[in-house]
């Protein structure tokens, strides 16, 4: 049986830290579905469709990956995709508490679904989508923080808002 994992997130936008987790996950699992969640608690810079497009462009070089999006409960989505693993990246101790709570409730809802934590590469331990947007807003260079398409899209967003 093929191992299928889901890497869920807002990806607003995808960063090189996310890409690192995707590349490494693709070496562990037969198939990795990167799924953009519709998060009602956040006001995103990019639409779900834009985030999906940026992800698709950024992962073209990784053959056993695909991009999708979902609404609702992650566990229901995982079951629908016939996956058995959730991939989550950890940057710092501060991420751990939230991720542990999420993994615990997911385990209660679906005991057969595992959460697979990956420590981020040290060079990306400070990196988040929020930091990237803040830096890009002031027209600073983000080329070493995000894939090329994302850099272009950030420039478009922030040049249109000034």
Whether the predicted pLDDT of 162 surpasses 60: no
Q: How confident is the prediction for the chain on average, in pLDDT? A: 93
Q: Which token pair is 107? A: 């385990």
Q: Which of 38, 42, 152, 155 is catalytic?
A: 42
Whether the predicted pLDDT of 52 surpasses 90: yes
Q: What's the mean pLDDT in 80-103?
A: 91
Beta bridge partners of 115: 86
Please say whether the beta carbons of 113 and 106 come within 8 A. Answer: yes
Architecture of domain 4-160: 3-Layer(aba) Sandwich (3.40)
- Residues comprising the binding site for ATP? 10-11, 18, 89-91, 99, 124-130
Per-residue pLDDT at 102 = 94
Q: Is 91 considered catalytic here?
A: yes
- Residue 104: pLDDT band with limits 50, 70, 90: very high
Q: How far apart are CA 43 and CA 153, in angstroms?
A: 17
Compute CA distances 19 → 8, 22, 138, whole Å: 13, 5, 24
End-to-end CA distance of the chain: 52
- Residues comprising the binding site for substrate? 10, 42, 74, 88
- Residue 41: pLDDT band with limits 50, 70, 90: confident
Q: Which of 25, 35, 58, 129 is catalytic?
A: 129
Q: Is 129 considered catalytic here?
A: yes
């Amino acid at each position: 049986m093929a191992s299928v994992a889901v890497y869920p997130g807002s990806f607003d936008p995808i960063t090189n830290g996310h890409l690192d987790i995707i590349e490494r996950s693709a070496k562990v699992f037969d198939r990795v579905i990167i799924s953009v969640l519709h998060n009602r608690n956040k006001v995103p810079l990019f639409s779900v469709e834009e985030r999906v497009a940026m992800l698709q462009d950024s992962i073209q070089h990784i053959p056993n990956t695909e991009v999708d999006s979902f609404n609702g409960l992650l566990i229901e989505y995982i079951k629908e995709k016939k996956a058995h693993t959730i991939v989550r990246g950890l940057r710092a101790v501060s991420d751990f508490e939230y991720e542990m709570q999420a993994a615990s409730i997911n385990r209660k809802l679906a005991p057969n679904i595992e959460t697979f934590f990956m420590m981020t590469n040290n060079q990306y331990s400070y990196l988040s989508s929020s930091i990237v947007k803040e830096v890009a807003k002031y027209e600073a260079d983000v080329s070493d923080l995000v894939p090329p398409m994302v850099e272009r899209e950030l420039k478009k967003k922030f040049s249109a808002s000034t």
